[in-house]
Chains A and B, each alone.
Chain A
Amino acid sequence: MAAEAWAGLALALLLAAPPFLPPYFLEILISVMLFGYLGAAWNILGGYAGQFSFGHAAYFGIGAYTSTLLFLRLGITPWLGMVAGGVLAAAFGLFAGYLSFRYGLRGPYFSLVTLAFAEMLRVVAVNTKAAGSSLGLVIPTRTPAPLDFVFAGKLPYYYVILAMAVGAVWITRRLERSKLGYSLRAIRENEDAAEAAGVDALGMKLRAMAASSFLTALGGTFYAQYFAYIDPTITFGPAVSIQGLLQAIVGGAGTVLGPLLGSFVLTPLSELSRAALRGRAGVDVMVYGLVLMLVISFLPQGLMGALRRRPRPS
């Protein structure tokens, strides 16, 4: 109960405070929400189903490129393009997932194959002129058009990503309390035992994959609209894959609030480290690497795990 009270308070603050924040802090908050969102999306497949994807950038990129290309070439509003991107990403996820799960890839082998799929998409993007090749795509800034997912100023974007993040948390909560949630956690703990208890492991994992990839793709569209520029490395590169994963692991994989909590800690941390060594590229990721090693070594259940270590009522 205490956790929910805190979450409620946090949400209230997140809704009310931003209009008064200086632009720099608002930017950071948007990043926090975006990475937390991506973490929550990853968490469905990684934290709950226990399938650690290292290639979620594949879905992020599909989302970003789909909505952007539909917008630039056909004038279709990114709000719709977002959904299209999500569906395409889910389809790719089901394809990649089916191949991997059907052929029994688990643990690190699954992680490696997801990495390969993401890299393959990146190479395809780099070599596709129609998608801008390695130069990428620019969404020309013009007059704000909310119906086209183009806003004046950062505040509207913040509320969009806030809504997405809250939505992802809500979906995760519903998932956790559903039959699918129990099935996924069983699969995570012990896939064979789960099968013996009547859980359709392949079917459940695919469901998790579809949800996870769909949501991740939506994040890709948000990124494209907010930053107005995408290229193969930004969207399909390992950096994005690692971002999602990191928030969930550090915050607590397999928990509802973990990814968001992780992002609230990691994103400002990376900002601070960048500010401390100004101009030096790579400090933030170096810190990420260090944090990841420390968390795995000392807090394997993540921050949520540490917060939960209170004596059980008997």
Chain B
Amino acid sequence: MTPWEIKGTELVNCNCAYGCPCQFNALPTHGNCIGLGAFEIKSGHHGDVRLDGLCSIGVFKWPGPIHEGRGEGLVIIDARADDAQRQALLRILSGEDTEPGKTVWNVFASTMERVHDPLFETIELSIDVDARRGRVTAGKLVDMTAEPIRNPVTGDEHRARIDLPDGFEYSIAEMGSGSSRVAGPISFKLEASYAQLAHLHLCQNGIVR
């Protein structure tokens, strides 16, 4: 198992309501799960391969709750990654070189029925976790935005966090309102639904605490 460690920020948008019940092991709001997650590595490596500054996006679809499987997935890798970096990222994002169940990518991989060939695309990404704002694009494939949730009465920004002390993705995530347009082998639109913004720090054994 090649050791690896990455630090960075993520923006996730799925079709659940704000606060995504799946984070609490409840059933997804609409019964199924459609979503995507973008991740920028601020610093990281896989074995001897440096991964600093590289971005990736995972696009997913499950007919029911994630843990019931039958998922469909696609990984989009930063076009700037060289061959070694592409291979390294694909191994991490496919849940390889990882203790079982210890990263979100390893867990997702165990629920996949169909994985599309990876795509390589220019990824533009800006994520401000504290402000709950972000924008991610990948050519014509992905356009995802996040903004703060609003109080339905006052219109004020609503700040809410989910804190998973034993999580396999984030320890604490800021909640936002996300909208996305995704084209390609898995295509969908999301409008003002669950968005999650977090700082990630993961390695082959899961979250680095």
B is a partner of A: no
